Chain A
Amino acid sequence: MSMLEVKDIYKSYGDVQILKGVSFIMEKEETKVIIGPSGTGKSTLLRCINQLSPPDKGQIWLDGEEITNRKTNINKIREKIGFVFQDFNLFNHLTALRNVSIGLEKVKKIEKDAARKRAMQELTRVGLEAQVSQYPAQLSGGQKQRVGIARALAMDPDVILFDEPTSALDPELIGDVLDVMKSLCGKVAMLIVTHEMGFARNVANEIIFMEGGVIVEQGSPKEMFTNAKMKRTQEFLGRIGALYGEEETGG
């Protein structure tokens, strides 16, 4: 059984059906990138996976446990699913260190000193050992997002979901964040929604192209970029390549 299995997920907001039967699987330590036009339901899919917006229909298994089952303790499951947000969502009233340690202290019930030591390690890992006592409002966007990644990492998750982690950043800050993400490849499973095609091409084990609430096509970066079967995939990659300059970022 795969680490993460997403099976036939449907989700509507009001009368509007956003996800129309999405299925895929992820293995341990795999890096998967989801691409697709705006409004397609990429964020909705991530939010379905960690149950911030529970799906209307379909099942999701993590480590063989059905997390869409109402009887599952969702808080326990969320410890194993990291989430990195487009607009960071760092806890404004806490230092970088406490942002990372609070989950360990309050959720994992790790003793304070040990939790902070671990938080320190994670912040060092993302290159922020000098910023540990700074508050979010005192950090640059790139630094904030790296704290966000450290916060997710500290929980030792099975998989981290990234929702456009670099979309809110100034271009010159994107590289630092992508470098950190690249350094995690093969160490923890990552499911990444992004428009950074260079990154997707170089780092992903597999790329999923979503449109209109369904997966249109998925495959290795090589297949997708040079040999996409569906016309829609080719069109989208062509358009977005022109828009974002596929070779320059994260390459």
Chain B
Amino acid sequence: MATDFGQFFLHSLPNLMSGLGYTLFLTFISITAGFFLGIVLALGRVYGNKIVNGFCVGYIELIRGTPLLVQLFIIYFGLPSIGIIFSPIQAALLGLSLNSGAYQAEYLRGSIQSVESGQMNAARSLGMNKFQSIQYVILPQALRIAIPAWSNEFIYLLQYSSIAYIIGVAELTAEGKFIAAHTFRYLEVFAIIAIIYLVLTIVSTEIIDRIAKHLSIPGIGAAKRVSLRDI
């Protein structure tokens, strides 16, 4: 039984690795693109005029108020009817990035607003313009504060990226489905896949925690991720 499982695992490995590659690719690209989109949206919400702020709120609420799956379907199945055609992987990257951007915008907005207003006053008093004040004083502090929430977003995205399988991206879950359909060993396949996700989650959490520690401001300490153990 054990050797049989071992052989089965080895046999499935190429498919699983290929799927893992897509999963990581989707996650890294979307979290990064979503991060930059999130910063723009968050700055628009905090510092923008009424129109900019309204636009950002509208976007964020639209994304957060609709299921990710529906968003993916609109991009992949809906847009072609007006002549905009994406490959599955393009559609998944776009959908996950646009979605993550909205969520990251809200975390970032919270952390920007938690930087004391005196910091902006001090920066402006030195003669920095608003943009410089944000760049050199507000964001360096806000981004540190955002790391724990951002760590959670990374984990969500890692797991939600599995939804891309529905529009035909051969990521980890899709590969699992493929292997299981050919071998009928559903339990083993998805147990392996669950373990892979679990290991990825634990490892990435640990890495982000170390980054947070490394970036922590001496005398203040790293912002802490609230984990279930702390509650």
Q: A204 near B: Cβ within 8 Å?
A: no
Q: Is the CB of A93 within 8 A of B140?
A: yes
Q: A92 near B: Cβ within 8 Å?
A: yes
Binding-face segment, B52-60, B84-92, B165-173, B217-225: B217-225
Nearest chain-B residue to A108 (Cβ)?
A: B127
Q: B144 near A: Cβ within 8 Å?
A: yes
Q: Which residues of B contact A107 (CB under 8 A)?
A: 126-128, 132
Q: Which of B122, B217, B218 has the most CB of A within 10 A?
A: B122
Q: Which residues of A contact B132 (CB under 8 A)?
A: 106-107
Q: Whole-angstrom distance between the alpha carbons of A103 and B116 in the complex?
A: 19
Q: Is the CB of B219 within 8 A of A90?
A: no
Which residues of A in the span 206-245 have a Cβ within 8 Å of any Cβ on B? none
A-contact 0/1 string along B187-231, CB 8 Å cutoff: 000000000000000000000000000000111100000000000
Q: Whole-angstrom distance between the alpha carbons of A72 and B127 in the complex?
A: 13
Q: B124 near A: Cβ within 8 Å?
A: yes
Q: Which residues of A contact B136 (CB under 8 A)?
A: 102, 106
Which of A78, A82, A135 lies in contact with B124, CB distance below 8 A? A78
Which residues of B in the span 106-124 have a Cβ within 8 Å of any Cβ on A? 116, 118-119, 121-124
Q: Is the CB of B127 within 8 A of A75?
A: yes
Q: A17 near B: Cβ within 8 Å?
A: no
Q: Which residues of B contact A50 (CB under 8 A)?
A: 125
Which of B118, B128, B141, B218 lies in contact with A137, CB distance below 8 A? B218
Q: How many A-B residue pairs have CB under 8 A?
A: 70
Nearest chain-A residue to B221 (Cβ)?
A: A137
Q: Whole-angstrom distance between the alpha carbons of A75 and B132 in the complex?
A: 11
Q: Is the CB of B121 within 8 A of A89?
A: yes
Q: Whole-angstrom distance between the alpha carbons of A92 and B219 in the complex?
A: 10
Q: A164 near B: Cβ within 8 Å?
A: no
Which residues of A in the span 31-66 have a Cβ within 8 Å of any Cβ on B? 50, 52
Q: Which of B127, B132, B141, B144 has the most CB of A within 10 A?
A: B127
Q: Whole-angstrom distance between the alpha carbons of A82 and B127 in the complex?
A: 9
Q: Is the CB of A135 within 8 A of B219?
A: yes
Q: Is the CB of A93 within 8 A of B217?
A: yes
Q: Which residues of A contact B123 (CB under 8 A)?
A: 91
Q: Which of A85, A93, A106 has the most CB of B within 10 A?
A: A93
Q: Whole-angstrom distance between the alpha carbons of A67 and B132 in the complex?
A: 21
Q: Give min CB distance, B168 to chain A, whole Å.
A: 45
Q: A87 near B: Cβ within 8 Å?
A: yes
Q: Whole-angstrom distance between the alpha carbons of A154 and B124 in the complex?
A: 15
Q: A83 near B: Cβ within 8 Å?
A: yes
With A92-B141, A135-B219 as known contacts, state yes or no: A85 contacts B126, CB within 8 Å: no
With A85-B118, A93-B144, A136-B219 as known contacts, state yes or no: A155 contacts B126, CB within 8 Å: yes
Q: Is the CB of B127 within 8 A of A103?
A: yes
Q: Which residues of A contact B125 (CB under 8 A)?
A: 50, 52, 78, 81-83
With A92-B141, A93-B141 as known contacts, state yes or no: A83 contacts B122, CB within 8 Å: yes
Q: Is the CB of A92 within 8 A of B127?
A: no
Q: Whole-angstrom distance between the alpha carbons of A75 and B122 in the complex?
A: 12
Q: A201 near B: Cβ within 8 Å?
A: no
B-contact 0/1 string along A71-98, CB 8 Å cutoff: 0000111110111010101111100000
Nearest chain-B residue to A154 (Cβ)?
A: B126
Q: Is the CB of B217 within 8 A of A135?
A: yes
Q: Give min CB distance, A158 to chain B, whole Å.
A: 13
Q: A167 near B: Cβ within 8 Å?
A: no
Q: Give min CB distance, A120 to chain B, whole Å.
A: 18
Q: Is the CB of B129 within 8 A of A137?
A: no
Q: Is the CB of A91 within 8 A of B137?
A: yes
Residues of A participating in the B interface, judged by any CB pair closer than 8 Å:
50, 52, 75-79, 81-83, 85, 87, 89-93, 102-103, 106-107, 134-138, 151, 155
Supply 22 A–B pairs (Cβ within 8 Å), ascending by A: A50-B125, A52-B124, A52-B125, A75-B129, A78-B126, A79-B127, A83-B121, A85-B121, A89-B118, A91-B123, A93-B141, A102-B136, A106-B128, A106-B132, A106-B136, A107-B128, A134-B219, A135-B217, A135-B218, A137-B219, A137-B220, A155-B126
With contacts A89-B121, A102-B136, A135-B217 known, what are 13 further pairs, Cβ within 8 A?
A50-B125, A52-B125, A78-B124, A78-B126, A78-B127, A83-B125, A93-B217, A106-B132, A107-B127, A107-B128, A135-B219, A138-B219, A155-B127
State the 10 A-B residue pairs at the shortest beta-carbon distance, nearest first. Answer: A137-B219, A79-B127, A89-B118, A89-B122, A83-B125, A103-B126, A138-B219, A78-B127, A107-B127, A135-B218
